[in-house]
Amino acid sequence: MEEDDRAVPLLASKIEYHENCPGCRVELLKQTRTGLPIRELFSIWIVVLCTGYWKLSLPNIFHPLFELLIFLTIFFFFPAALPISSLFPFLYFMIRDFHIAETEEDIGYYAGYVGSSFMLGRALTSVFWGLVADKYGRRPVLIFSTATVVVLNTLFGLSLNFWMAVVTRFLQGSLNGLLGPIKAYASEIFRDEYQALGLSAISTSWGIGLIIGPALGGFLAQPAEKYPHIFSQNSIFGKFPYFLPCLAISILAMGVTIATFWLPETLHNHKDTLPSHTSPEDRPHETDALQEGKSASKSLLTNWPLISSIIVYCVFSLHDMAYTEIFSLWAVSPKRLGGLSYTTQDVGVVLAISGFGLLVFQLTFYPYVERLLGPIMVSRIAGALSIPLLSTYPLIATLSGVALAVGLNCASVAKNVLSVSIVTGMFILQNKAVAQNQRGAANGLSMTAMSIFKAIGPAGGGAMFSWAQKRQHASFLPGVQMIFFVLSMVELIGVILTFRPFLVPTE
């Protein structure tokens, strides 16, 4: 072995430290940093961003990294989640302006196709990006993925017709391999006792992105109509009324792409992480299935703890994506069709409030609840509570004024908190079911399956929404009552699947 690539025991453990291995550097960080301080977070972010972590000495690399992690995970998932969700508040009006729907009730069908195209593209390529992340590292995939958001999300905002919108969304999903590798990254960068917090930060960031996205879309869409004193009808924002929210997200994605170059790599670039002379009984306990996973997950498809958690994750993802599309369509549709007659700006306010509530819960209460009950029980309880909550939505639509605002905001906050709690639990189970060298592929497999279900979600939700609006006077579950009943049944299936013998956690 070369002198600059020598292997020595990593502190008190038997794990080798390879000087030129980025994964070993992170392992050293995890052993030297026992706490999770968050002081001077933003000033540290600026320093690291401006100087570059590789230019610092080893102690200086590790000192600010944990403070940086929480901000980075939130910062990262915004460009991942924002393009998916930002179109929902204005998609109804965008499809209307394309003049492809023959009647107002048919808008939901076409909106579903646009919403599904992203997930369809991601379903076709997620395993590929996971394999790339396992072979070449997490960081190259993150850089490429965020860069594609800049280009394709901008083009989506400049869509001239329905088919251009579908194609740009499909390509954006196909070339965005961010979600799987970043989940693996978070499970590798945090110490064992902070696994729940790390993955909670990711699912929180994802959930907030799914909320902030619609808020941005709601506030920034059609700016020439909302803010005529700032944006002229003859400007590019008047000619392309849905370009401004897409441009704002693309600018953020550009900043994240640049910031990605300063992220440390967590993938080991040597064959062995344990000394050859170390006996099995001397090896340290590996809580993330590094020992068990090497034998049990040689084939990911035969790893039932992984597969069962992916299936449960897919069912809840189908529900969440359908709910996200239906909520925005329902809120902006007219009262005579069972909606709320909200503007895109009204929807943005509701979703912004939900995002704040979600952030507070996930970063303060969720780690303690997960530690007390475990990820499966938390997911099961959250799914069960979502069912009666969904049944209140048709009743909320009958309210008006302050009562409507209070009822809708409370329901929206509760629903999003419950949904993200479920997703966090599934993240934890999936990453504990495999070893590090398979986490990229495992999360890619999870993203492929989930993306298929999430592609079905908007298409099915949009079609169901249009169908429900045409049966306002049906004798059984008229109008929107049928929509939320079906969503409740999907949630119930997910809850049932959290029980043994179906869902089997890693021991």
- The first and second tokens of residue 105, run together, are 């009730």
93, 97, 101, 106 alpha-carbon torsion, rounded to 10°: 10
- The first and second tokens of residue 301, run together, are 């498809």
On whether the CB atoms of residues 105 and 426 are closer than 8 A, the answer is no
On whether the CB atoms of residues 354 and 416 are closer than 8 A, the answer is yes
Which of 287, 273, 99 lies closest to 191 in space, CA to CA?
Answer: 287
d(CA 167, CA 453): 19
pLDDT score of 423: 85
On whether the CB atoms of residues 204 and 152 are closer than 8 A, the answer is no
Handedness of CA 51, 53, 58, 60 (dihedral sign): positive
On whether the CB atoms of residues 42 and 26 are closer than 8 A, the answer is no
d(CA 277, CA 280): 10
d(CA 472, CA 12): 69
In angstroms, the Cα distances linking 1 to 8, 167, 212, 270 are: 12, 50, 50, 11
Helix (H) or strand (E) holding 8: strand 7-9
SS percent in the chain: helix, strand, coil, step 5: 75, 0, 25
448, 453, 454, 459 alpha-carbon torsion, rounded to 10°: 130
pLDDT score of 331: 87
On whether the CB atoms of residues 338 and 467 are closer than 8 A, the answer is no
Which of 342, 145, 356 lies closest to 257 in space, CA to CA?
Answer: 145
What CATH architecture applies to the domain 67-266? Up-down Bundle (1.20)
The DSSP annotation for 111-170 comes to HHHHHHHHHHHHHHHHHHHHHHHHHH-HHHHHHHHHHHHHHHHHHHHT--SHHHHHHHHH
Q: What is the pLDDT along the chain (507 residues), one digit of tens a residue?
A: 444 445 555 544 445 666 677 767 767 666 665 554 343 333 323 222 323 333 333 333 333 444 444 444 445 555 566 777 778 778 888 888 888 888 777 787 788 788 778 878 888 888 888 888 888 888 888 889 888 888 999 999 999 999 999 999 999 889 987 777 777 776 676 666 666 666 666 666 666 666 677 778 878 888 988 888 888 888 899 899 999 988 988 888 888 788 777 777 777 776 554 443 333 344 444 444 444 444 444 578 888 888 999 999 999 988 988 888 788 888 888 888 778 888 877 877 887 788 778 777 876 787 788 888 888 999 999 999 999 999 999 899 888 889 999 999 999 999 988 998 898 888 888 878 887 677 777 877 887 887 788 778 777 877 888 888 888 888 888 888 888 999 999 999 999 999 988 987 765
Helix (H) or strand (E) holding 7: strand 7-9
pLDDT digits (tens, 9 = 90+) for 170-196: 998 899 877 777 777 766 766 666 666
d(CA 273, CA 246): 44
Which of 146, 404, 438 lies closest to 299 in space, CA to CA?
Answer: 438
Vertex 323 angle, CA 317 and 324, to 5°: 90
d(CA 310, CA 74): 23
Handedness of CA 189, 195, 199, 204 (dihedral sign): negative
d(CA 214, CA 84): 9
Environment class of 437 (CB within 10 Å of its CB; exposed 0-12, middle 13-18, buried 19+):
middle
d(CA 436, CA 186): 11
The domain defined by 302-506 folds into Growth Hormone; Chain: A; (1.20.1250)
pLDDT score of 459: 74
Range 386-392 contact pairs with CB under 8 angstroms and sequence separation of 24 or more: 386/415, 386/418, 386/419, 386/488, 386/491, 387/488, 387/491, 387/492, 387/495, 389/414, 389/415, 389/418, 390/415, 390/484, 390/487, 390/488, 390/491, 391/484, 391/485, 391/488
In angstroms, the Cα distances linking 331 to 321, 373, 454 are: 16, 35, 21
Residues in the chain: 507
On whether the CB atoms of residues 214 and 194 are closer than 8 A, the answer is no
Which of 111, 241, 133, 242 lies closest to 177 in space, CA to CA?
Answer: 133
The pTM of this model reads 0.65
Which of 225, 233, 227, 253 lies closest to 83 in space, CA to CA?
Answer: 253
Domain boundaries, the chain: 67-266, 302-506
- The first and second tokens of residue 274, run together, are 């344990």
Helix (H) or strand (E) holding 365: none
- Matching fold, domains 67-266 and 302-506: yes
